[in-house]
Amino acid sequence: MKEYKIGIDARLYRRSSGGIGTYTQNFLEELSKLDKKNQYFIFLTPDDLKEYNLKSSNFKPIKTISAHYSIKEQLSFFKELKKYKLDLIHFTNFNHPVLYRGRFVVTIHDLTMTLFPAPGRQRGWVQRFFYHRILNNAINKSNRIITDSKNTKKDILNFKKTDPQKIDVVYLASEKGYRPESSLDKAQKLKEKYKIKKPYILFVSQWRPHKGIINLVKSFEVLRKRYKQYDLNLVITGKPNSKFPQIKKGVKYSEARNNIITPGFVDQEDMSALYSHAEVFVFPSFYEGFGLNPLEAMACGTPVATSRISSIPEVCGKAALYFDPHDIEDIALKTQTILANKKIRQDLIQKGFKNNKKFSWKKTALETLTCYQQALK
C-alpha cells in the first residue's frame, strides 16, 4: 500500500486549550501506536511544542507561529502547508486556511459559537462573517468531517445542507489517568489544599453561560433550604471568564456563597481524587459537543446527575440521573435523590463504570485513521 504524507493541525495541543487539547493529545498518542507506515507532520505553536512528547519516528513536529483565529492562519499557515506537499491534512478544529485546496479532514466538535456566541469578538458582525465563512468552507470543501456525537452531526446538518454520509461520528473517551481514588489520607490533603471544609457536590467545566453554572448555584440554594440535613460545599472548578461577569456575580452574591468553593484550575494530578471523593457530580449544561466531564466522573466512581439534552444522554446512556437544566427545582431534586438513596447511588456508580468502557482513545484513533483512508480514496 502507498505511504502517505499526512498533516495534523495540532495548534491546540496544549492542555490549557481545554477539551480540544485533551482530544488532540490523546488521539495522537494512540494514532502514533497504530500507524507506523504513513508520515505525519504535526503542526504546533511554541506553546504546544512545550507539551509535545510523541517519540514515533514517523511523527515529525513542525513549529508554526500561525495562531488560531488570526490573519497568519489564513495567509502564513496556508503557505506553510503548501510547502510540505501533503496528501491529506486533518484540521482538529473547524478553523483552517480557507484558501487551502488540498485534501483535508476537519473535526467540528460542536456549534457552540453558532448557538452560544460570547459577547465581544464572537458577536461582532465582522467576526460573525468570518466565522461563518470558515465554518461553511470546512463543511463544503472538506473531504470528510469528523464530529464527536450524533447530536453534533444533526446540528451541522441543520446549519448547512451537506451529504450526511460525509460526516463520521467518532466518540471521545475519558483519559487513562481517571480512576477511583480511595485513599482517605489523599482526600484529606486534597481538601486542605483546595480549602474544602465539608462533603461536596462537584462541577467541572468552563465558566460559560451554556454550562448552566447560575442554575447550578440556584439549585444548591434550594437544596440547602429544603433539605437541611445536608451540610455540603459546592465546588466549582475553573476560572471566571471576564466575558461573562454575570456568572462570577451569581456565585459571589449567592445566599449560599459561604459554602461555595471556587478553587480555580485544579492540578491535573488532583483531578481523579477530586472526582472520586465528591458526593455527586452535577452537570447542568445546556449544550455539549460530547461532554467529557460526566464520563471522567463515572471513571472515578462518582454518581452523575446531568442534563437530559444535547449530546449528554447519547454519551451517558443509562448511567446518569437526568434533569431539565432549565428547571432549578428538578436539578435540586435529582441531586438530593443521589444523596439520599444509597441503592440509586450504587446503581449509578456501577452503570458508570460499565458505560465508561464503551469509549476508548484507541477506538477514537482507529476510527480517525479509517476516516483518513476514506478521504484519500
Same-domain status, 192 and 337: yes
- The mean pLDDT of 19-26, rounded to a whole number, is 94
User: Would you say residue 73 lies in a domain?
Assistant: yes
Same-domain status, 242 and 163: no
Same-domain status, 269 and 313: yes
110 in helix, strand or coil? coil
Same-domain status, 240 and 258: yes
Same-domain status, 138 and 252: no
**Nearest-angstrom CA–CA distance, 336 and 195:** 24
Same-domain status, 209 and 101: no
| Predicted local distance difference test score (pLDDT) of residue 116 | 87
Same-domain status, 369 and 312: no
328 in Cβ contact with 218 (< 8 Å): yes
| Predicted local distance difference test score (pLDDT) of residue 1 | 61
**Nearest-angstrom CA–CA distance, 127 and 122:** 6
| Predicted local distance difference test score (pLDDT) of residue 124 | 64
Residue 74, domain extent: 5-173+360-375
- The mean pLDDT of 92-99, rounded to a whole number, is 94
Same-domain status, 211 and 352: yes
| Predicted local distance difference test score (pLDDT) of residue 176 | 85
Same-domain status, 249 and 164: no
Q: What is the pTM of this model?
A: 0.93
Same-domain status, 33 and 96: yes
Residue with cell 456575580: 249
Same-domain status, 224 and 291: yes
Same-domain status, 17 and 140: yes
Mean pLDDT of the chain: 94
Work out how many domains the chain is built from and give that number.
Answer: 2
Q: Where are the alpha helices (DSSP H) in the chain?
A: 19-34, 46-49, 71-74, 76-83, 112-115, 125-141, 150-159, 184-193, 213-226, 245-252, 271-276, 292-299, 312-316, 328-340, 342-356, 361-375
| Predicted local distance difference test score (pLDDT) of residue 71 | 83
Return the CA Rg of the chain: 21
